[in-house]
Amino acid sequence: EACEEDAFLLAFGDHLSTPSPDGKSCVAQLVDAFDGARSMAALQCITVETAASTGVFECREPPFVVPGPSSPKTRDLSESRIWPLSRVVEKPSADFVAEHLTGPGLPPGHCLGSFGNYILTPKIFDILRKQPQLHMTAAIDDLRQSDGLDGILINGNRWDLGNTRTYIEALQYQL
C-alpha cells in the first residue's frame, strides 16, 4: 500500500555494497539518476564470464552522458552513463551474453550486470499480480517493455552474499 502511488527503491537483501571513493552510497547514486518517470536499474560492468551469476541487461543504443565522477568500473570514463535498456535476462550463459547482451560503450568482453538495486514505478505491482509465481526479473523486463527502463553504472562495489565466492570476497574486503 505504501508504494501504490510513488516510485520506490527495491534493494536485494542478499547483496552488500560499499560506496564510491567519494563516499556517495550506491543507493544515493541511483536516486540522483532517477528522473521520476522511467524505472531505473543500478548497473555494474562485469565480465561475460561472470554473467551467469546475476541478471544481465542488453543495451542496443549508446549510453547518454551525465556529468559526474569517474569510476574504476568504467575504466577511463569521466562521466556517469545512463543506458536505455532493451532487455534483462536472469543468469544467462557466457555464450548467450557474448552473442546477445554486450553493447555499445562497454569494454570488449564486458556486459551490464545487475547491482541489486532498482527504483521502480508502481506499475510493477500490476505486473506481479498477473504472474502465477513471483519472478522479479521477468516482471522488471515486462515493466521495461511497457514503460521503458534506464540504468546507471554505479561507482562502488557489490557482493552477492548468496554466492560463496563473492561472500568470501566481501569478508576479505572487511579485513
- Domain range list for the chain: 8-173
CB 39 within 8 A of CB 119: yes
d(CA 149, CA 85): 6
Q: Which fold has domain 8-173?
A: Spore Coat Polysaccharide Biosynthesis Protein SpsA; Chain A (3.90.550)
Per-residue confidence (pLDDT) for residue 8, from 0 to 100: 96
d(CA 76, CA 154): 14
Percent of the residues in the chain that have a pLDDT greater than 70, as a whole number:
90
Instruction: State the virtual CA torsion across 144, 142, 96, 108 in degrees, nearest 10.
Output: 10
Percent of the residues in the chain that have a pLDDT greater than 90, as a whole number:
54
Phi, psi of 25 (to 5 degrees): -65, 160
- Work out the mean pLDDT of the chain and round it to a whole number: 87
pLDDT in tens, 94-116: 999 999 998 888 889 999 999 99
